[in-house]
Amino acid sequence: MVIEIKKIDRVYQTLLFLEKDKKEGVTAREIAGAMEANRANISRYLNQLYRNGKLKKIEGRPVLYKSLSVENKNPTSRSLDTIVGAKLSLSKPIQQAKAAIYYPPRGLHTLLLGGTGVGKTMFAELMHRFAIETENFDKKAPFVQFNCADYADNPQLLIGHIFGVKKGAYTGASRDRDGLLKKADRGILFLDEVHRLSPQGQEMLFTYIDKGYFRPLGETDKEITADVLIIAATTEKPESYLLSTFIRRIPMMITLPSLRERGLEERYLLIESFLKEESKRVGRSIYINKNSLISLLLYDCPNNIGQLNSDIQLACGRAFLTFKTENKEYMMITQSELPDHVKKGIMKIHQHRKDVEDILKEKGEILNFSYKDKNISDNSEATGSKFFYDIIEKKLNSLREVNIKEERINEILNIDIESYFKKHLDSLPAVMKKDEVRKIVDDKTASMVEKILKLASKRLNRDYDKKIYFGLALHLQKSIERIQNGEKIYHPELNHIRVTYPEEFMVAMEVAKFIDDKYRIEVPLDEIGYISMFLSSNPYRTRGKERQKTGILVIMHGSSTASSMVEVANELVGDEHAVALDMPLNIDPETIFKKALEEVIKIDQGRGVLLLVDMGSLSNFGDMISEKTGRKIETIEMVSTPVVIDACRKAMLGQDLYQIYRSCKDISINRKRPQKKKVRKKAIITTCFTGEGASVRLKEIIADRLQDSENIEIISLNILNHEHFLTTLKQYEENYKILAVVGTVDIELEEIPFISAVDVLSGDGIGQIEDIIKNEEIYLKIEDSLKEHIKSLNTVTLVDLIRKAIKRIEKKLTVKISEEVRIGIVLHISFLVEKLIKGDSGIVFSDLEKFQKEYKEEMADIKQSLLSLENKYKIVVGDDELAYLCQMFLENKERY
Amino acid sequence: MKTILLVCSAGMSTSLLEKKMCQAAEKKGLELTIRAVSELEARNYTGEIDVLLLGPQVKYLLNTMKELMTGRSVAVGVIDSINYGMMDGKAVLEQALKMSER
């Protein structure tokens, strides 16, 4: 597909080249000859170019083709001065561009800087046109365009493409071939994404820039001269290391402003010109209501003009569809024609009300844009859009012919438009999509979150902005994953939330039900607490006052790695919370350390700082800074963008350093080695309010009375602060298998048994502990022995998951089974899982139907409790199996 | 020759134990018939049985089986859960032999 696109460009360039000498037009045969290609193929490309509005076709025998761009230009006005913003934000770039062209003898080589979609290609084209208009360049001066990313994985090919190839330079180079530099002689060579050029290619380019000649690939003695103005473009930031050599060698540097920097007034003008262009393509006026226009003015459009244009095209496509299918009199854009992310623009009206009113005053409720109005810019070449409208119309007619209902047609075509634009967006460079939340959150979650927010805003009569949408989507994706894996979700302030936000909590319950149905999971109460927080109007304030937040500092090797990660994270989270520190390779670690130290002091609000780093010496920074300053610091290594996003989000939610640390660690560890559990030492926790009184005494008693106590760590902790205790406990759980918590007050932990201090002092507490230890040892042995029989699975994980599932089943069915039976069931399920993975046929439960009828709910409960296993091992536990399990639990239950 | 019947709900987990018990018996030079069967098969088993052992997960069948086997001089019991958990064929075999002596 990529090659196809390139080929069409080459056909076009060849035509431009041949056209110089053949003013009446060029035939397909001539182009095919010049390119040594099949004529039929060339005709196909020419037709496509014609349909795209790039060529003029002169019917006859043979058919002649002429480019439009040479003919169509308006000689009186100069292109550069007519583009939107020429007198505003673009005035300086335009001045620079003119200077570059005027500079004798043939202009200054230029480096164009700016983000994705700011219009670098168009700007380069305009410079070319300007050079011709001012007669600095010949009328037929070529404009050759090339994207260095196209062959970036094959540097030799790329160099050959630009500088040409000498016959025999490599296998397959059967003849001399000119490069683009030669083809661009006396004109402009536009090199997009120039930072993708290999070092060798850069060196060759610089030689040409300095000396005016170059050598094709494989050529040793002959130097070729060419008279070419190079315009190089890149999305890299000017301070980027990659660009430093370019900046030194290329004299003119022009930075194009982002859409945001261009301001609302200019954005309006851009919207106007895009709508008029669309109007020209459809050949009729386009109407738009005021609210939709406001949305277009205000929505977040990080990929600049390019994105603005494609979003407007999508809206026009939909409007055209409605217009055609419903036989409307006007082609009109309303909110329902806008893409969802554009619609959200209207929500920002309160921040910009005055500016918007200034722009739209006296414009009425419905605005009309037509290509017939003056002031239409014909700067941009017509793209594939005409073709696109044709497709809609053609499809519409053929669907009507086969008598498909109107609403169904609408649906089908809508999908077509979406997929067209999806393709369109896919073809854009990777940075384009970085902030599209759907890139990070899957479609299912994203659309569910939309529904959730719709429901919530109806129930609570409240609007939710993009920030909440992003936040909730990211959050739910993670939580659902956790629930499906059978991992615990824990909310430290559940009760507080429940009391503070009773309405939100009710709605969150409803939302949870919705998620339950959708994912066949059970959203725990703690998670409902989190959802309530998102639904309460200001989620980042849980206690009415602004809380201090944990600091996030990202330090990475490379000159822009950290800053670009932080940029993405901050944008998604909607706050400039995380701080980046880039570490270019040529700067020594000590300097960076000093900077890191300063940053930590600056951003620490008293809740500590989380350092997110990639590797090497950076990993030790945290400890060193902590030693020097006494501040709380944790470090996560091998950090990727999702980790940074997660950390920011959690910090904004007011979570403390250790909570964030743990959760980030989970993500980064999951990435590196999924599901590998280390052997954990066993531990018993003793508690009291101070952590120094009773708990220490209990520790001594247990150590004294317990046999085998040298293999068990006994840790005394205070429970003064419940939240803090739980976090500490979780930290210990990383390295220890916590057998029991012993203390005066039952903290009611679900997964860890509690033994009361009284029992330890005067009852059979020690006996209870010993039972637990024995039990754990049995399971250790079971895991070991299973390893021999079930070789394909990690039996430690398997047994762990099964034991948790059994606990859930006991809870749901309110039955209790003996340890003896429990072991039997663990074995039973282990072999069942193995059997199902192998795909062996199931067993049959006699009289299943009758049993199912009687124990419908119990079976459903068991099914749900086994979800973590089903998901983990990609198996489905059938009804017969469920019935057997159900019987095991119900028939074996112990009498209380 | 003695016959030992191992029973679990579908004969799935006990079939491995059956194999391991056979190996243990062979080592001891004992000639035994050891069969892993499902609950249903056990109920309808008409051949000679000396020992009937239940997997711990179907412990609830103990009384039913005892009733079913009355008058047939069959020792009925539950496999020790720890031995079962470790699929210790040798230990379970010993348990079965001890039961048959009584």
Taking only the tens place, the pLDDT of each residue in B17-57 is 898 999 999 998 888 899 988 888 888 888 888 999 999 99
Q: Are A359 and A297 in contact (CB under 8 A)?
A: yes
CB atoms A887 and B88 under 8 Å: no
Which residues on chain B are in Cβ contact (under 8 Å) with A818? 59
Q: Which of A476, A430, A426 is nearest to A450 (CA)?
A: A476
Q: Read off φ and ψ for residue A118, nearest 5 degrees.
A: -80, -10
Closest residue, chain B, to A783 (C-alpha): B86
Q: Are A715 and A685 in contact (CB under 8 A)?
A: yes
Query: Given the structure tokens 């459009």, which residue do they identify?
Result: A301
Enumerate the residues of chain B whose CB falls inside 8 A of the CB of residue A883.
none
Test A821 with B57 for CB contact under 8 angstroms.
yes
pLDDT of residue A400: 64
Q: Which of B56, B61, B87 comes nearest A785 by C-beta?
A: B87
Q: Which of B4, B8, B21, B96 is catalytic?
A: B8
B31 touches chain A (CB under 8 A): no
Residue A418: exposure state from Cβ atoms within 10 A (0-12, 13-18, ≥19): middle
- From the first residue on, what is the mean pLDDT of each consecutive set of 10 residues in chain A (896 residues)? 61 79 79 80 82 74 72 55 84 87 84 90 91 87 88 82 84 80 92 88 88 85 88 86 79 90 90 89 86 92 89 86 78 87 86 86 79 50 40 62 59 50 38 46 81 86 69 74 73 66 85 89 82 63 53 89 84 78 83 89 88 84 85 86 81 80 70 46 83 80 80 82 78 81 77 82 84 86 86 85 88 87 92 86 81 89 88 86 91 74
Contact B84 A891 (CB under 8 A): no
> Which residues of B fall within a CB distance of 8 Å from A781?
82, 85-86
Coil, strand or helix at A237: coil
Listed in sequence order, the DSSP H helices in A618-764 are: 618-629, 641-652, 657-672, 694-705, 722-735, 757-762
A554 within 8 A of A519, measured Cβ to Cβ: no
**Alpha helix stretches (DSSP H) within A283-405:** 290-298, 304-325, 340-343, 349-360, 385-401
Is B9 within 8 Å of chain A by CB?
yes
CA gap A800, A779 in Å, rounded: 9
Half-sphere exposure of A765 (CA within 13 A, CB side): 23
| Residues A101/A64, Cβ–Cβ less than 8 Å | no
Report pLDDT digits (tens) over A539-569. 333 333 345 788 999 998 888 888 888 887 7
Per-residue pLDDT, A441: 67
User: Which residues does A contribute to its contact with B (CB < 8 Å)?
Assistant: 778-779, 781-782, 784-786, 789, 818-821, 823-828, 830-832, 835, 843, 846, 884, 887-888, 891-892
Contacts of A830 in chain B (CB under 8 A): 13
Tokens 């103005």 identify what position? Answer: A229
> How many contacts (CB atoms, under 8 Å) link A and B?
78
Nearest alpha-carbon partner for A691 in A723, A720, A730, A658: A720
In angstroms, the CA A287 to CA A331 distance is 6
CA distance A139 to A73: 11
A678–chain B nearest CA distance, Å: 22
Distance CA(A301)–CA(A117), nearest Å, equals 10
Asked if A137 and A131 touch (Cβ cutoff 8 Å), the reply is yes
**Quick one: how far is CA A866 from the chain centroid?**
32
pLDDT score of A676: 40
Residue labelled with tokens 């690939």 = A217
- Chain-centre distance of CA A40, in angstroms? 42
Q: Is the pTM of this model over 0.95?
A: no
Closest chain B residue to A790, measured at CA: B16
Catalytic residue check, B8: yes
Q: Which residue among A786, A830, A892 places its CB closest to the CB of B59? A: A892
What pLDDT was estimated at residue A822? 92
Q: Which residues pair with A554 in a beta bridge?
A: A580, A612
pLDDT of A409 reads 60
State whether residue B54 is helix, strand or coil.
strand
The tokens of A231 are what?
């315009």
Q: Do A781 and B86 touch (CB under 8 A)?
A: yes
Contacts of A265 (CB under 8 A, 6+ apart): A88, A355, A359
What are phi and psi for residue A746, nearest 5 degrees? -75, 120
Chain B residues with beta carbon closer than 8 angstroms to that of A824: 8, 55-59, 81, 84
Tell me which chain B residue has its CA closest to the CA of residue A828: B13
CB atoms A824 and B57 under 8 Å: yes
Is B10 an 8 Å CB contact of chain A? yes
Q: B-chain residues within 8 Å CB-CB of A828?
A: 8-9, 12-13, 55, 57
Q: Rounded to a whole number, what is the distance in Å from the CA of A475 to chain B's nearest CA?
A: 40
A-chain residues near B8 (CB < 8 A):
824, 828
Contacts of A722 (CB under 8 A, 6+ apart): A492, A747
Work out the minimum CA distance from A673 to partner chain B, whole angstroms. 28
Nearest CA distance, B47 vs chain A (angstrom): 22
- What is the four-CA torsion angle of A783, B9, A805, A826, rounded to 10 degrees? -10
Nearest CA in chain B to A789: B16
Asked whether the beta carbons of residue B55 and residue A828 sit closer than 8 angstroms, the reply is yes
Is A824 in contact with B58 (Cβ distance < 8 A)? yes
Q: How far is Cα A292 from Cα B50, in angstroms, rounded to an integer?
A: 85
In whole angstroms, give the CA distance from residue A402 to residue A414.
18
Interface contact B56-A888, CB threshold 8 A: no
Q: Which of B57, B60, B82 sits opposite A828 (nearest CB)?
A: B57
Distance CA A503, CA A535 (A): 9
List CB contacts (< 8 A) between B23 and chain A. Answer: none
Check A820 against B85: CB less than 8 A apart: no
Across-strand partners of A287?
A: A332, A368
- Residues B60, A891: C-beta atoms closer than 8 Å: yes
Query: CA angle, A231 as apex, A225 and A234 as ends, to 5°?
Result: 135
Are B96 and B33 spatial neighbours (Cβ–Cβ below 8 Å)? no
CB nearest A820 (choices: B38, B40, B56): B56
B67 touches chain A (CB under 8 A): no
C-alpha distance from B54 to closest chain A C-alpha (Å): 10
Residue B4's pLDDT is what?
A: 92
Task: Check B13 against A827: CB less than 8 A apart.
Answer: yes
A846 vs B contacts (CB less than 8 Å): 40
DSSP A604-643: --SS-EEEEE-STTHHHHHHHHHHHH---EEEE-S--HHH
Residues across chain B:
102
